[in-house]
Amino acid sequence: MEEIMIALKNIQKELDEQKSEIRKSADKVTERVTQNINKILEEKFLKLQDQHDKLKEKVENQEKRIYFLEKQARQRNVVFFGIEEKESSYDNLQNNIVSFIKKYFNTDIELRDIQEVRRVGKKGDRPRPIIVIFSTLGIKINIMKNKGLLKDTQYYLKEDYPLQVLKKRRELLEQAKIEKEKGNDVRIKYDKLVILKSNNKRSLPTSPENTLTAECQSKNNTNTQAHKKNRTQKSNKPVQRSNSLSEGGIKPSMLNFLVNKNINNTTTEQKNDEKTSSI
């Protein structure tokens, strides 16, 4: 009976060892499968990432090209605002624009100088703006140079910017206000903010830092003025004249030099007298 129990225990022990080995082998297989799966997924992810980067670069290049083409397409455009909306046809609108430019800009312009005109936006109470495409860039430049002639009228004109540039210019307006508050003369040219010069005459916005700086400057100015005042008072004191000089007062530096020279001579004579007496 005991032998049977011992045999059963041995069998149970062997079964337990086999179970543990099976579990270990199963864990190893699972680990290897997981590593292989991760490796395959990582390779696929890298390929997808590479494709994504290439597509992103292509999209960016395409956006740049579209932006450049749109900029070139709008290069000869001018947007007119405030012109009454009374035209009944395209020809009528074109003739109105030619008459308007001749009247306010004193420019000899003809229908052949205009490539296209069109109103933009929804029709409402106010007249819609008119986009005018000129046949040459030179005509557009001359018109933009003389836009100040519309200063005292209800009309005005602007560049025809792409939507991206308009958005960028709105963002730059806030930055331009900050620079103007600092006293800088700024201009927005297309989609960039240009600081022309610094205007020191304008007062800076008040702040604790500016107040402390102003107090320090005033103290320095006061100390400087007091120092200058003391110097002028010292220079106004009467200067002793020497009989050996016929004209003019002796400068303080000359007085010091003479006094030091006399003292040195006196001490030298005293030393010589002492030596003589000792002999």
Is residue 231 predicted with pLDDT exceeding 70? no
> 75-160: what fold?
Alpha-Beta Plaits (3.30.70)
Q: What is the pLDDT of residues 98-150, one digit of tens each?
A: 999 999 988 888 999 999 999 998 888 899 999 999 999 999 999 999 989 99
Three-point CA angle 249, 250, 253, nearest 5°: 145
Three-point CA angle 106, 111, 115, nearest 5°: 110
Tell me how far apart the terminal alpha carbons of the chain are, to the nearest angstrom.
142
Q: What is the pLDDT of residues 71-98, one digit of tens each?
A: 888 889 999 999 999 899 999 999 999 9
How much of the chain, in percent, has pLDDT values that exceed 70? Answer: 70
Residue 127 tokens, joined: 């007249």
What average pLDDT score do residues 247-272 get? 46
Residue 135 tokens, joined: 């046949």
Query: What pTM did the predictor assign?
Result: 0.51
pLDDT confidence of residue 174? 78
**Distance from C-alpha of 198 to C-alpha of 183, rounded to nearest angstrom:** 6
pLDDT confidence of residue 272? 46
pLDDT confidence of residue 225? 52
What average pLDDT score do residues 155-159 get? 91
pLDDT confidence of residue 189? 73
Contacts of 192 (CB under 8 A, 6+ apart): 172
**Distance from C-alpha of 194 to C-alpha of 180, rounded to nearest angstrom:** 12
**Distance from C-alpha of 153 to C-alpha of 96, rounded to nearest angstrom:** 17
Q: How confident is the model at residue 217 (pLDDT cuts 50, 70, 90)?
A: low
How much of the chain, in percent, has pLDDT values that exceed 90? Answer: 32
Would residue 82 be called left, alpha or beta, if left means φ above 0 and alpha means ψ between -120 and 50 degrees? left
What average pLDDT score do residues 241-253 get? 42
Query: Cβ distance 140 to 78 under 8 Å?
Result: yes
**Distance from C-alpha of 105 to C-alpha of 149, rounded to nearest angstrom:** 7
**Distance from C-alpha of 21 to C-alpha of 12, rounded to nearest angstrom:** 14
In the chain, where the domains are located: 21-73, 75-160, 161-215
